[in-house]
């Protein structure tokens, strides 16, 4: 399983390099199901992996002029504050046994994985509908202007979501940047990577002191993901990104549904807690 986990770690970066997103949505399932990491701890690890990989991925975008720093600051500040507060204070406050539904006991780990699976479903829909979204984005893109209330609110919401499930939330950030900041699509993707990198890494600092971290595993997975993003960038020159994103979207949808079923109906630990 560890060998499969290392291979999947590289796929996280390859996905980011090929289609500009999606890799972070695989990080938590890879850590939980292939490396056996506790789901709550996996969300913390994911923040570091996603943040580090996105930071590397944004460098070529910045050199190409596809990163809008002003937008990144305006959107990023509320997002960074929200993700840090979520990891430092909100997540530790969630009890080990959240609530029960009949014979099913919803634990903290189940809640985190359930939220993540729901996020995967929404992310997959965004990927599957790639062409329509891109067309709308190009039509609505115009001279840059800022809808400050919506940007600040969206940034805070994405920050809380990132803090809870450990995913970058690019599928939420990119449409927000296009609609509320009037960024062209390519610039929205580059700017999104910078925002994801900043809020994920700052959010990870909120976990320090709360968990005992396996730095060897964290470093290995992060390194493989970073190698993967360079591979993905090179492959992207010869691969149709739209078709790949749609196929990847269907894969993410299946994974999201599987996780929901597994956590709700195939989790013996949850049933055991409920019966005691």
pLDDT band at 209 (very low <50, low <70, confident <90, very high): confident
What domain range includes position 261? 2-274
Q: What is the pLDDT of residues 104-146, one digit of tens each?
A: 778 888 888 888 788 888 878 877 875 544 444 444 445 566 6
pLDDT tens digit sequence for 1-58: 788 889 989 988 887 777 666 667 788 889 998 999 998 899 889 989 988 988 998 8
pLDDT of residue 131: 52
What does the block give as tokens for 183? 């960024």
- The predicted pLDDT at position 268 comes to 53
Assign 3-class secondary structure to the chain.
CHHHHHHHHHHHHHHHHHHCCCCHHHHHHHHHHHCCCCHHHHHHHHHHHHHHHHHHHHHHHHHCCCCCHHHHHHHHHHHHHHHHHHHHHHHHHCCCEEEEECCEEEEHHHHHHHHHHHHHHHHHHHHHCHHHHHHHHHHHCCCCCCCHHHHHHHHHHHHHHHHHHCCCCHHHHHHHHHHHHCCCHHHHHHHHHHHHHHHHHHHHHCCECCECCCHHHHHHHHHHHHHHHHHHHHHCCCCCHHHHHHHHHHHHHHHHHHHHHHHHHCCHHHHHHHCC
Q: What is the domain count for the chain? A: 1
What's the half-sphere exposure (Cβ side, CA atoms, 13 Å) at 273? Answer: 16
Q: Which of 78-87, 173-182, 219-228, 251-260 has the lowest mean pLDDT?
A: 173-182
């Amino acid at each position: 399983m560890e060998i499969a986990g290392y291979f999947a770690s590289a796929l996280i970066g390859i996905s980011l390099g090929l289609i500009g997103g999606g890799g972070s949505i695989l990080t938590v399932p890879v850590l939980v199901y292939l490396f056996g990491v506790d789901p709550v701890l996996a969300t913390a690890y994911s923040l570091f992996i996603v943040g580090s990989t996105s930071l590397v991925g944004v460098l070529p975008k910045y050199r190409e002029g596809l990163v809008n720093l002003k937008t990144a600051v305006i959107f990023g500040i509320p997002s960074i504050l929200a993700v840090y507060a979520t990891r430092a204070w909100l997540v530790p406050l969630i009890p080990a046994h959240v609530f029960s539904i009949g014979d099913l006991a919803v634990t903290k780990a189940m809640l985190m994985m359930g939220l993540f699976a729901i996020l995967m479903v929404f992310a997959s829909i965004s990927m599957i509908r790639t062409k329509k979204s891109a067309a709308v984005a190009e039509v609505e893109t115009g001279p840059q202007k800022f809808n400050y209330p919506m940007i600040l609110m969206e940034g805070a919401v994405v920050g809380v979501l990132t803090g809870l499930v450990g995913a970058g939330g690019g599928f939420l950030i990119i449409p927000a940047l296009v609609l509320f900041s009037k960024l062209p699509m390519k610039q929205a993707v580059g700017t999104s990577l910078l925002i994801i990198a900043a809020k994920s890494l700052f959010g990870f600092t909120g976990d320090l002191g709360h968990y005992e971290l396996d730095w060897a595993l964290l470093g290995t997975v992060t390194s493989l993901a970073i190698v993967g993003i360079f591979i993905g960038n090179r492959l992207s020159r010869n691969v149709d990104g739209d078709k790949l994103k749609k196929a990847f979207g269907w894969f993410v949808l299946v994974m999201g549904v599987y996780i929901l079923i597994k956590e709700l109906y195939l989790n013996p630990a949850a049933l055991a807690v409920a019966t005691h």
